[in-house]
Amino acid sequence: MIAIEDATLIFNAGTPNENRVFEAFNLTVGKGEFITVIGSNGAGKSTLFNLLSGTVMPDSGRIVLNGRDVTKEPEFKRAKTIGRIFQDPLAGTASNMTLEDNMMVCFKKGFKGLRIGLNRKRREFFKEQLKFLDMGLEDRLKDNVGLLSGGQRQALTLLMMVLSRPELVLLDEHTAALDPRNAEIVLRLTTHFVKEYGLTTLMVTHNMQHAIDLGNRLLMMDSGEVVLDIRGEEKQHLTVEKLVAMFSKVRNKQFTNDEALLSR
Ligand SMILES: Nc1ncnc2c1ncn2[C@@H]1O[C@H](COP(=O)(O)OP(=O)(O)OP(=O)(O)O)[C@@H](O)[C@H]1O
């Protein structure tokens, strides 16, 4: 289970630019949950991910990852158990390394420090995994990753993240920079991997329909607060119109996220 307990985060404290992004913020994520996160501009979605991954530290409160208090743990340490994928499809892989070397880096991470090498059996395993992506990458183990398309790289990034067996997956608009066809492929793979490996996952998206269709729980954020937390049957019966109306009702204002509203 992942928990953020009573977290407060203030940027530029004590200056004219002081920005209290989170005040006594609480969130509990159950093991294996797949949560989509949507919200108005500046709601705090990326900052929530930054808090969980250790990119920013809370001014007060605790962050607990499967029973371990990681509040003070720096980002590079948390990265051993947290997999984060960004919008930029080039960010998750090393261009000047081959597919198999890239995959090996993540595979080793999954074995938490054990000395394992790249052998014939492991190459076969990588091929099997790549075959599943259905992009012909199983025959390109020796190619440099820099030769792949954006969609292929993001699918590979996803697969590599799965190989590292993360305790928490943070998907930060990971399909936003892909063309619609590749975005659908990567989302299909995401759903498959989350289910197959029971990955505890949070996914920020600006696409309201994706937020409704994917996952078991939906969080709507506004001004550093979770204003809607929808799951189960209620989520299954959601529509974009209902979601926008629910937001207006609880916040007494219109939902404003240009990208989200345009993607409807
Ligand atoms: N490093 C920082 N220094 C100062 N303020 C910051 C910093 N990072 C984020 N903020 C502020 O925190 C608030 C939340 O920003 P955040 O990027 O988390 O929003 P978001 O929900 O991801 O928005 P968007 O959908 O527009 O990307 C904003 O007011 C933003 O200006």
| C-alpha 200 to ligand 1 mean position (Å) | 24
Which residues in 100-113 are b (16+ Cβ under 10 Å) and which e? bebbbebbbbeeee
| C-alpha 80 to ligand 1 mean position (Å) | 25
pLDDT score for 97:
94
pLDDT score for 108:
80
| C-alpha 231 to ligand 1 mean position (Å) | 26
pLDDT score for 115:
67
- Please say if the pLDDT value at position 143 is more than 90: yes
Closest ligand 1 atom to 43 CA = 21
Residue in 40, 47, 52 to alter for ligand 1 test, most ligand atoms within 8 A of Cβ: 47
Read off the pLDDT of each residue in 70-96 and give the average, rounded to a whole number.
Answer: 92
Give me the CATH topology for the region 2-262. Answer: Rossmann fold (3.40.50)
Read off the pLDDT of each residue in 12-24 and give the average, rounded to a whole number.
Answer: 95
Where does the pLDDT of residue 123 fall: very low under 50, low under 70, confident under 90, or very high at 90 and above?
very high
Does the complex come out with an ipTM higher than 0.95?
yes
Read off the pLDDT of each residue in 23-39 and give the average, rounded to a whole number.
Answer: 97
pLDDT digits (tens, 9 = 90+) for 147-184: 999 999 999 999 999 988 899 999 999 999 999 999 99
- Please say if the pLDDT value at position 263 is more than 70: no
| C-alpha 23 to ligand 1 mean position (Å) | 14
Read off the pLDDT of each residue in 107-125 and give the average, rounded to a whole number.
Answer: 76
> Which is higher by pLDDT, 223 or 115?
223
Read off the pLDDT of each residue in 227-255 and give the average, rounded to a whole number.
Answer: 92
Read off the pLDDT of each residue in 111-126 and give the average, rounded to a whole number.
Answer: 78
Where does the pLDDT of residue 114 fall: very low under 50, low under 70, confident under 90, or very high at 90 and above?
low
Read off the pLDDT of each residue in 126-134 and give the average, rounded to a whole number.
Answer: 92
Closest ligand 1 atom to 206 CA = 25
- Answer yes or no: pTM beyond 0.90: yes
Q: Which residue spans within the chain are E strands per DSSP?
A: 2-11, 19-29, 34-39, 60-65, 68-69, 82-85, 168-172, 201-204, 217-222, 225-231
Dihedral angle of Cα 222, 64, 70, 92, to the nearest 10 degrees: -60
Read off the pLDDT of each residue in 177-200 and give the average, rounded to a whole number.
Answer: 93
> Which is higher by pLDDT, 7 or 132?
7
Q: How many Å apart are CA 249 and CA 215, to the nearest integer?
A: 24
Closest ligand 1 atom to 11 CA = 4
| C-alpha 42 to ligand 1 mean position (Å) | 5
Q: How many Å apart are CA 241 and CA 246, to the nearest integer?
A: 9
Residue with tokens 């797949």: 34
